[in-house]
Structure 1
Amino acid sequence: MTTYTARATRDNDRYWLVHIPELGHYTQARTVSEIETMARDLIVTLKGLEPDAVDLEVDIQLPGTAQEHLERVETLRTQEAEARRAAAAEARAAAAELKRAGLSLRDIGKLLGVSFQRASQLTSDV
């Protein structure tokens, strides 16, 4: 199976220009979601292949520093997920310690800022 590359750049304010360098041909797409479909269609039409016989890598060239912003978004989302996991572990540890200290589920919930039902879930293993 041959791998093709679809390089998409914003042509004007209306279309994405999609270049297939292995073929030296171009096509257009109106939206990002159409880029792969249009590139694949061009390849199968020119090469006479079945659509599932084409391995396609899409490379979208973004304007300005947009790619840097998107990479930063991904980094921050990863950090957010890690922070949420750490916070959940700390909440479970605090709830367990408070339960062992004899506090009620309502008090534990109030101290943790959760419902007493959630406090019960957090302490179910204690």
Structure 2
Amino acid sequence: MDQVSRYKVIATPDEGYWCLKVPSIERATQARSIAEITPMAKDLIEIMTQDPRIEIDVDYDLPAEVAEAVELKRRAAELEQLAQGKQKAAAMALRDKGLTLRDIGKLLDISHQRAHQLIKAQ
């Protein structure tokens, strides 16, 4: 079985298109959209190396404010998932203290129906 070659592609937005740089072959090409990045990069690499078994890793070179927004969104989703995982234990602890479903919902910023679901879930 032939070995697959991996190539790093750096994609940078520039005036309505993506500039694609492939450092390992010291070449570049363009793509009109994110959907075109992989096929355009693969075409360039195949032409330059004559290697048909290619996999690419795309690194996006984005303006700082975009990269920050993407990272914050990723972290927010991670924290939301963590919070949801802790809600059941929190709801159970509050219920053990004798609080009503409405109070539990208010404290956890969820509906009393959701509090009930968390407590009844196995």
Q: Could you tell me the TM-score, scaled by structure 1's length?
A: 0.70
The alignment's C-alpha RMSD in Å is 2.7
Matched, 1:47 2:49: yes
Matching residue's letter, 2:89: A
Q: 1:56 to 1:120 in 2, by over 3 A?
A: closer
Aligned residues: 113
1:9 to 9, 12, 15: 12
Aligned in 2, Cα 1:43/1:92: closer, same or farther, shift over 3 Å? same
Letter of the structure 1 residue corresponding to residue 26 of structure 2: G
**1:119 positional shift:** 2.7
Q: Choose from 81, 93, 113 the match for 1:115.
A: 113
Deviation at 1:17, TM superposition (A): 0.7
In the superposition, relative to structure 1, how do residues 92 and 5 fare at CA in structure 2: closer, same or farther (>3 Å)? same
Question: Shift in Å at residue 84 of structure 1?
Answer: 1.7
Q: How far does residue 110 in structure 1 lie from its aligned partner after superposition?
A: 4.4
Report the Cα offset of residue 28 of structure 1. Answer: 0.9
Matched position secondary structure for 2:20: strand
Q: List alignment gaps of at least 5 residues for structure 2.
A: 106-110
User: Which string of whole-angstrom CA distances, capped at 9 and with x for unpartnered residues, describes residues 41-61 of structure 1?
Assistant: 2112322222xx213121110
User: What is residue 79 of structure 1 aligned with on the other side?
Assistant: 79
Other-structure match for 2:27: 25
Deviation at 1:19, TM superposition (A): 1.0
Cα gap change, 1:93/1:43 in structure 2, threshold over 3 Å: closer, same or farther? same
State yes or no: 1:38 paired with 2:35: no
Q: Which runs of 5+ in 1 are unaligned?
A: 102-107
Q: Is the 8 A contact 1:7 1:18 kept in 2?
A: yes
Q: Deviations over 1:57-95 (max 9, x none)?
A: 211100242112211221222112111211232124444
Distance between the aligned counterparts of 2:78 and 2:118, measured in 1? 26
